């Protein structure tokens, strides 16, 4: 920087801070779909088909942000919803967004909440190449029952072993004279993993984490002002 450039620096700072290094993560977006079935709100879930990554897992519609197709993350969530469930953008009211999810595996998920204008699940046209089935569960079920919570230790490893057992130094902490603490794996945070179990189904991981976040917000509603309309 040169003298006098401090004001230029102020101009290039982001108006809304993002996530440092986000471009190095797998960037995705999901649509948490609500629908009004049988007099109450339901979450609409997908079960991934056997042909794709994370086969058999339960999730919300969503997928990778594709810069050549998507103008923003909300558009990505709506596009994936249309591709996976045959639900057009006109059939989804986007109510807003929830917090960004960042996982230790290098995945960033931008989360949006939408209301689906459908009478029942038969109004959906699933893509069998991606979705094995769709089903719904009442939101009140998740309000009533807390998920199981598991704390998984996250470890940073500056060394690793190859298939023959030979140690490979990934980060040269000793060479950089950073101290013995950094020459061996060191433990970071405990990462919480939530698990819901209903009707023989297991909903866990990112999907459960998103649900838990939303349900905690719902529980803040003043009960005397609640309405089903």
- Contact 78/31 with Cβ under 8 angstroms? yes
Sign of CA dihedral 152, 157, 163, 167: negative
Residue 134 buriedness (CB in 10 A; 0-12 / 13-18 / 19+): middle
Using CA atoms, how far apart are residues 52 and 65, in angstroms rounded to an integer? 17
User: Looking at residues 13-17, what average pLDDT do you find?
Assistant: 87
Mean pLDDT lowest for which of 4-8, 43-47, 63-67, 122-126? 4-8
pLDDT in tens, 78-108: 999 999 999 999 999 999 999 999 999 899 9
pLDDT at 227 over 90: no
pLDDT at 229 over 50: no
Three-state DSSP class for residue 121: helix
User: Looking at residues 164-180, what average pLDDT do you find?
Assistant: 92
Three-state DSSP class for residue 193: strand
pLDDT at 111 over 60: yes
Whole-number average pLDDT of the chain: 92
What is the DSSP annotation of 37-92?
ETTEEEEEEEEE-TTSTTTT-EE-SEEE--TTT-SSHHHHHHHHHHHHH---GGGE
Domains of the chain: 25-219 (3.90.79.10)
pLDDT in tens, 213-224: 999 999 988 765
Using CA atoms, how far apart are residues 65 and 107, in angstroms rounded to an integer? 11
Q: Which helix (H) or strand (E) holds 200?
A: none
Torsions phi, psi for 178 (to 5 deg):
-95, -5
Q: Which helix (H) or strand (E) holds 211?
A: helix 205-218
Q: Which residues of 97-115 are buried (b: 16+ CB within 10 A; e: fewer)?
A: bbeebebeeeebbbbbbbb
Sign of CA dihedral 139, 144, 148, 153: positive
- Contact 79/70 with Cβ under 8 angstroms? yes
- Supply the pTM of this predicted model: 0.86
pLDDT at 226 over 80: no
Mean pLDDT lowest for which of 42-56, 76-90, 101-115, 198-212? 42-56
């Amino acid at each position: 920087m040169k003298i006098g450039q401090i004001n230029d620096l102020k101009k290039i700072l982001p108006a809304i801070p993002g996530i440092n290094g986000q471009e190095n993560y797998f960037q995705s977006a999901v649509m948490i779909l609500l629908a009004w079935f049988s007099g109450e709100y339901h979450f609409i879930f997908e079960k991934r088909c056997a042909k794709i990554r994370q086969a058999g897992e339960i999730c919300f519609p969503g997928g990778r942000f594709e810069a050549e197709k998507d103008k923003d993350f909300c558009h990505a969530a709506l596009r994936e919803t249309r591709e996976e469930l045959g639900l057009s953008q006109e059939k989804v009211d986007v109510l807003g967004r929830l917090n960004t999810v960042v996982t230790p595996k290098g995945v960033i998920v931008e989360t949006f909440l939408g209301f689906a204008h459908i009478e029942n699940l038969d109004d959906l046209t699933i893509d069998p190449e991606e979705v094995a089935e769709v089903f719904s569960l009442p939101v009140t079920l998740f309000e009533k029952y807390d998920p199981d919570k598991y704390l998984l230790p996250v470890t940073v490893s500056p060394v690793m072993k190859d298939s023959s057992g030979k140690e490979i130094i990934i980060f040269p902490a000793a060479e950089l004279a950073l101290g013995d603490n950094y020459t061996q794996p060191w433990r970071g945070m405990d990462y919480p993993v939530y698990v819901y179990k209903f009707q023989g189904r297991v909903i866990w991981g990112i999907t459960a984490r998103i649900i838990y976040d939303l349900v905690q917000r719902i529980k803040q509603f003043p009960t005397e002002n609640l309405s089903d309309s």
